[in-house]
Chains A and B, each alone.
Chain A
Amino acid sequence: MLEVTSLTRAFGNHLAIADISMQVAEGELVTIVGPSGCGKSTLLRCVAGLLPPTSGQVVLNGVPVTRVPDRLAVVFQDYSRSLYPWLSVAANVALPLLAATRRGSDRGSRRGRAVRDPAVRDRAASQRAVSQRAVSQRAVSQRAVSQRAARRAVALAALESVGLGGFADRYPWQLSGGMQQRVAIARALACEPVLLLMDEPFGAVDAQTREDLEDLLLRVQAERHITTLLVTHDIDESVYAGDRVIVLTRGPGRVRAEVAVDLPAPRDQITTKERREFARLRAEVSRLVRGTPAPASAPPEISPPEIFQQAP
């Protein structure tokens, strides 16, 4: 689904990430963990099409990413700089919907590009037909009103799904940090992404809120199977949330190892973290992040059951 090949990005002479290759399957939740400054954000911004790579490429569903792909959503770490304080919570969540609808029509007509997604193409065609008909000013404004109402309805549903149903008409700065990050998640979900990118999304909230947000993410993931790339510097989080953990080296970031996480679903903050597999995976990822060699008896490639048999 997502294929990253030999991705390298330099800022001037400074290499931020070097030769990163990885693949993410449809519906998979992959966590990327590495020390701070190792290029996690750079990697994510390249995948999002926000930053052109120096070399290498990103391919999403067979299409090379050269600009921000449609139906991609990002949750940034710093919600205070990514939610707009001058827009209400609902307006913040509805904003990307505006982009999605507009984009469909202008892709079809003005840019004259081939549209792959048939749904988008149909919508573009119908919007063009509507605009070609000589519609009266009043009909146009009525349509705008109903579209706005439709966007608001989608935004309210998204807010409901993250447990913020009653906060649509507040402003982001009236909410706590954890709630603001829920708004950011609702905004990402509202545009029904095929790929969700999260850059240390829970790094700025306290431990309890972080656990709640992790569980919210896992619940959403279980319901919608959105392919997700979650960047974190928290080792527990990378193991707890991920189907697979990709460990990056200290900067310039390279892939040090990939660790499959076989913890059963649904995961639970207490019982999952009690499991011996969790402790083992946590230790393994921890060693990989620090760059200390694993004990000879437990090489990273061995699957969990064998470990338990070998453990004294």
Chain B
Amino acid sequence: MSALPATGPATTAAARPRAGGRTYLLLARLLVLAAAIAGWQLGTTAAGNPYFLPPAQIASGMYHRWFDGPASHLWLTADATANLLPSLGRMLSGWAIAAVAGVALGVAIGRLPLLADLAESLVHFGRAVPPPALVPVFLFVFKIGTPMEVAAIIFGVIWPVLVNSIDGARHVDAGYTETARAFRLPPAQRLTRVILPGAAPKICAGLRLSLALALVMMIISEFAGSTNGIGNEMLTAQSTFDISLMWQVIGLLGVLGIVLNALFAVAERRVLAWQRAPRATS
């Protein structure tokens, strides 16, 4: 049977209701979000409590504080350049270093049983320590400043990458690895063309978790000690009773979390396009 013509319509037919379902779901989600924001707006306006600000006021405050700059600076204000950019830079570099180190170590541990025997209990210990507990230690070692914050982010977020990379690399389908052996693939090619792609779904799951955690570690490390950054702005707001700035920072963190997650999802969909493929037989 030449099943190509048969699979063609079958896959599109299967995809169509799913795509339709997704559109409805998206609409429903937006509706819930809009209703929540409207409720928040109405509630806070009606209550007039100075500690709880209406979202429209928070949003316009955020806009004027950070995104009202000249076009030549990509609309970023001086405040954004002084605080938002350093925070983002530290977060992303910490996350990137943790990602590279975590994947490298994780794949090595996952594929080398001897290394796994030696390192695995260490990994479980490291993972069990709540990341914020490490911040005071790094504060001692590095003093206040970017190295301390980046180090705290790295050690805070490396664990999900590490644990998932170990798991992914270890459980690459034996069919894939045996084929690689049967065709005498050299070790470097085996790693780049078989092990890493085979472990990629797990690795991506780990990276996504640690990206969310990186935002948490960014703000916590800045609370512990910093001279700039949005965490530092939050501390300033607290000490000067600037309720409006506090809400703006909270709003900004929420937006950052959503944007980062969305960007990651786009990248992940590209890298793992093959995974959404229908599995013919198994």
Q: Which residues of A contact B (CB under 8 A)?
A: 48, 50, 68, 70, 72-74, 76, 78-82, 84-87, 95-96, 98-100, 102-103, 106, 171, 173-180, 187, 191, 204, 206, 208-209
The answer to the question of B9 belonging to the interface, with a C-beta cut-off of 8 Å to chain A, is no
Q: How far is the CB of A177 from chain B (nearest CB, A)?
A: 6
Decide if B185 touches A82 in the complex (CB within 8 Å). no
CA distance A87 to B185 in the complex (A): 15
The answer to the question of B81 belonging to the interface, with a C-beta cut-off of 8 Å to chain A, is no
How many residue pairs, one in A and one in B, have C-beta atoms under 8 Å apart? Answer: 103
Decide if B175 touches A78 in the complex (CB within 8 Å). yes
Decide if B189 touches A98 in the complex (CB within 8 Å). yes
Decide if A68 touches B181 in the complex (CB within 8 Å). yes
Q: Which chain B residues numbered 20 to 67 have a C-beta less than 8 Å away from chain A? A: none
Q: Interface majority SS on B: helix, strand, loop or mixed?
A: helix
The answer to the question of B70 belonging to the interface, with a C-beta cut-off of 8 Å to chain A, is no
Decide if A99 touches B183 in the complex (CB within 8 Å). yes
Decide if A96 touches B185 in the complex (CB within 8 Å). yes
Give which listed residue, B3, B189, B277, contacts A177 with CB less than 8 A. B3
The interface residues of chain B lying within 8 Å CB-to-CB of A79 are 281
Q: How far is the CB of A158 from chain B (nearest CB, A)?
A: 13
CA distance A99 to B194 in the complex (A): 13
Decide if B184 touches A173 in the complex (CB within 8 Å). no
Q: How far is the CB of B2 from chain A (nearest CB, A)?
A: 7
Give which listed residue, A72, A102, A173, A206, contacts B277 with CB less than 8 A. A173
The answer to the question of B179 belonging to the interface, with a C-beta cut-off of 8 Å to chain A, is yes
Decide if B281 touches A78 in the complex (CB within 8 Å). yes
CA distance A33 to B222 in the complex (A): 70
Q: Which chain B residue shows the least CB distance to A184? A: B179
Decide if B179 touches A204 in the complex (CB within 8 Å). no
The interface residues of chain A lying within 8 Å CB-to-CB of B193 are 84, 87, 95
Decide if A204 touches B1 in the complex (CB within 8 Å). no
Q: How far is the CB of B208 from chain A (nearest CB, A)?
A: 19
Give which listed residue, A70, A72, A84, contacts B197 with CB less than 8 A. A84
Give which listed residue, A82, A95, A191, contacts B175 with CB less than 8 A. A82
CA distance A286 to B143 in the complex (A): 81
CA distance A215 to B87 in the complex (A): 65
Decide if B277 touches A82 in the complex (CB within 8 Å). no
The interface residues of chain B lying within 8 Å CB-to-CB of A95 are 183, 185, 189, 193
Known: A73-B183, A208-B1. A173 touches B189 (CB 8 A): no
The interface residues of chain A lying within 8 Å CB-to-CB of B18 are none
Q: Which chain B residue shows the least CB distance to A209? A: B1
Q: How far is the CB of B10 from chain A (nearest CB, A)?
A: 11
Give which listed residue, A68, A78, A85, A102, contacts B274 with CB less than 8 A. A85
Q: Which chain B residue shows the least CB distance to A85? A: B274
Given contacts A78-B282, A178-B2, 6 further A-B contacts (CB under 8 A): A76-B182, A82-B179, A96-B184, A99-B185, A103-B184, A179-B4
Decide if B176 touches A174 in the complex (CB within 8 Å). no
Give which listed residue, B7, B184, B186, B194, contacts A68 with CB less than 8 A. B184
Decide if A173 touches B280 in the complex (CB within 8 Å). yes
The interface residues of chain B lying within 8 Å CB-to-CB of A82 are 175-176, 178-179
Decide if B3 touches A86 in the complex (CB within 8 Å). no
Q: Which chain A residue shows the least CB distance to B189? A: A98
Give 30 pairs: A residue, B residue, CB < 8 Å, sorted on A.
A68-B181, A68-B184, A70-B184, A72-B182, A74-B182, A76-B179, A78-B281, A81-B176, A81-B282, A82-B178, A84-B197, A86-B274, A95-B183, A95-B185, A95-B189, A95-B193, A96-B184, A98-B189, A99-B184, A100-B184, A171-B277, A173-B277, A173-B279, A173-B280, A176-B1, A176-B280, A177-B3, A187-B183, A204-B281, A206-B1
